[in-house]
A and B are shown apart, each in its own frame.
Chain A
């Protein structure tokens, strides 16, 4: 049951950790690297709270093993803002009151950014289907969808 040495890039930084092969990437981010912004809500890929980008692809980090991250690029909520400059999605989530408890928020922001990176002008329905795997129990999704649509408009320069 020996641990495996993993070298990977997280939010632009080269990092190393030792992982038990049973540990998920989410476990490693949280418990090995101290990046607790990604959350575990289900452990089965049904809630989206652990969403991260793996080599540019949106994934549930609870469904990736830590050892699979060897040599890959991982982007998490902690890397979304540039210094003090929040990503427009982060700003719009605050402005639109698109979070209540905030537990699902990191995963939703990562997922929403992945959408806008590939589709800068989504319809409301496209936003809702893209985010169907991100459960929020507080807001009823209304203000989340508004915030994503508004952030998209601003990023297109249409706001």
Chain B
């Protein structure tokens, strides 16, 4: 499958070594957010609103403070005022001000000498509410008479006269849309709905924060990005950024959900009020589901024109998304992804970011792309069925390729969509015969991938081993892939490289492990830093040999004389150069600070076979295949792991996961019992094909691989259910209740 135009004589890249943190993680030694205790530590608990929308009339903490061992209570009154923009949003989300905006919104927090005492004290804090009208559904929230949730949140993009809860408006496109539809033999327009889902990381948010009266503080926290935590906490609490030192723990999953703050600022505020004693805050699962970022729910109209032979002539997408009581539903990226798979002469996009009385949406794996894929890839399948066209051939006919002007603007460099379509077409799964009540679905998906602020420092140790200091927490094996790239570049064994995720005091700013960027951006930065160290080692050797540094090459972990001097001196090994660095000029190191360019987008195509029980509407996944362009797989096992994990999150989204609200606006399923993520027995093997169309923008051809895989499952499964039952479901999740209703409606009609 490899289509390498690069050197393929790699020693490490493409192999499957054991991950460096494996031993700690199989023995229980790895330390996650809640595993830390500190001397003098207190335990915190948070009081949360039971109402979807309520004015906070009074908070009385006197009974809590009267308990022996209760050290501090904080409310919004303990936070600075006058914040604007996203700082204001984050402060409001961390702790409600005058109004609680969703069920689970924090209204007060307490610190005490034990966890039980803190919980008892929290239960004694009396909050008086005036319940306000609330709105949950995106299509309800956009109605003119919906309760206005947070006046002043709309940005300049919203035209005058729009409904109060529309806080961002987007419209763009290119080509002649009407001419495109006029050229089509079939124009279809349908509405698709998706419900909010949660990232569902198994580790709840946890931190230990400490802040003194001198404004200096530190924190241990499970996060995808500790520089983000530092910046957000500083802004929310009015601190000087560099006075906070944040250490990222091992992280028990994030999927985008741990890229912003929730209760972290509260631990610092409590600590300061408790005389600077560290305060540990650990969420329980109900708090995670009620008060940390789910993704948006969406209501989407899509219209596509297609010729009889399957050529797509025009596409229009109008998306409405609610991302909770704050701006930030990923409607922009959803629209950008909508038609990204296709080379279409005319596209138009319109988007509405809408407020509702729900928790502030956080990023979730390819934010917006799964919803967009569900709508567009379902409609493409509906049109293929209507016209009697093969779903893969139709996608191949319209597939974006190198040189295609993307629906969202830029022109694609080298991309691998066609290769993923060809890979699934020739895979044995695609030829498996299907039985009664079984159906097959195909869909493709897209993610941009991302670079972001990146700082890396690497240094050679006295024995010639290498340390690499990075700022992107390792969430799925990035320490392995980074060590492999550095080892490959340096010409040393994988085991001789130690990659450390270091605290904020050790490097310039780093964006989180998000946007599928760690192996791409941190990897590229680490290679640049390693090349600097190599250049320095070549200079040290040249000085010793008394030749020009340009006449020294670095080969297989050694400096070697080159050109006219070739063979004059024996190779000088890294260990030798390192061993005497103190006398040859001091430390040998390299570093990178910047915004690595050359991001490569990633496409994937999935094929799923399902069987639907016609008597109960239950959908069983029989076979599942992922083919995705990785650019190059540094560690193929962890690339497969990303494909499989993304596919299964998508399966959950398609079939069972959703936020269920009661009439009272309260979340009804804030447990893993009723927020139903897929369990092992729900699933078959997840087959994978790693397509490799190397990214010319990365020294080893890397594209990000983490996110694309969650988008295709939603439409692929909907398409398979349609094939199995003859019924099209346009509202996720496709629960047995909905599938059975569709089957019965089909029988009646």
**A residues apposed to B, CB below 8 Å:** 20, 22-23, 27, 30-31, 35-44, 46-47, 49, 76-78, 80-81, 86, 90-91, 93-97, 99-106, 109, 125, 127-129, 131-145
Partner of B475, one of A27, A38, A101, A143: A101
- Are A133 and B641 in contact, CB atoms less than 8 angstroms apart? no
- Are B672 and A139 in contact, CB atoms less than 8 angstroms apart? no
Partner of A103, one of B32, B255, B477, B683: B32
CB distance from A54 to the nearest CB of B (A): 17
In the complex the two chains form, what is the Cα distance from A25 to B681 in whole Å? Answer: 28
Q: Taking CB as reference atom, which chain A residue is nearest B673?
A: A46
CB distance from B542 to the nearest CB of A (A): 42
- Are B255 and A137 in contact, CB atoms less than 8 angstroms apart? yes
Query: How many interface residues does B have (CB within 8 Å)?
Result: 59
In the complex the two chains form, what is the Cα distance from A28 to B250 in whole Å? Answer: 22
Binds A, one of B19-27, B130-138, B177-185, B483-491: B19-27
Known: A94-B22, A100-B475, A106-B28. A137 touches B671 (CB 8 A): no
Binds A, one of B263-271, B398-406, B643-651: B643-651
Majority SS of interface residues in chain A?
loop
- Tell me if B568 is interfacial: C-beta within 8 Å of chain A: no
Cβ of B673: which chain A residues have Cβ within 8 Å of it? 44, 46
In the complex the two chains form, what is the Cα distance from A106 to B31 in whole Å? Answer: 12
- Tell me if B18 is interfacial: C-beta within 8 Å of chain A: yes
Q: Taking CB as reference atom, which chain A residue is nearest B636?
A: A97
CB distance from A82 to the nearest CB of B (A): 11
Not counting A97-B640, A101-B203, A137-B255, a sample of 17 additional A-B residue pairs whose C-beta atoms are within 8 angstroms of each other reads A27-B115, A31-B115, A36-B35, A39-B202, A39-B252, A43-B284, A46-B285, A102-B30, A109-B26, A128-B683, A132-B679, A133-B679, A134-B680, A137-B202, A139-B645, A140-B686, A141-B680
- Tell me if B677 is interfacial: C-beta within 8 Å of chain A: yes
Cβ of B681: which chain A residues have Cβ within 8 Å of it? 125, 128-129, 131-132
CB distance from A26 to the nearest CB of B (A): 11
Partner of A135, one of B18, B202, B637: B202
- Are B25 and A142 in contact, CB atoms less than 8 angstroms apart? no
CB distance from B675 to the nearest CB of A (A): 9
Known: A39-B203, A99-B26, A100-B638. A135 touches B648 (CB 8 A): no
In the complex, per-residue mask of B659-690: 1 if CB is within 8 Å of any chain A CB, else 0: 00000000000011100011111010110000
Cβ of A93: which chain B residues have Cβ within 8 Å of it? 22, 26
Partner of A94, one of B19, B116, B201, B647: B19
> What are 14 A-B pairs with beta-carbon distances under 8 A?
A20-B116, A36-B34, A41-B204, A43-B284, A44-B671, A47-B285, A100-B476, A101-B203, A103-B252, A132-B680, A135-B672, A136-B202, A137-B200, A140-B641
CB distance from A35 to the nearest CB of B (A): 7
Give chain B interface residues in 157-190, CB to chain A under 8 Å.
none
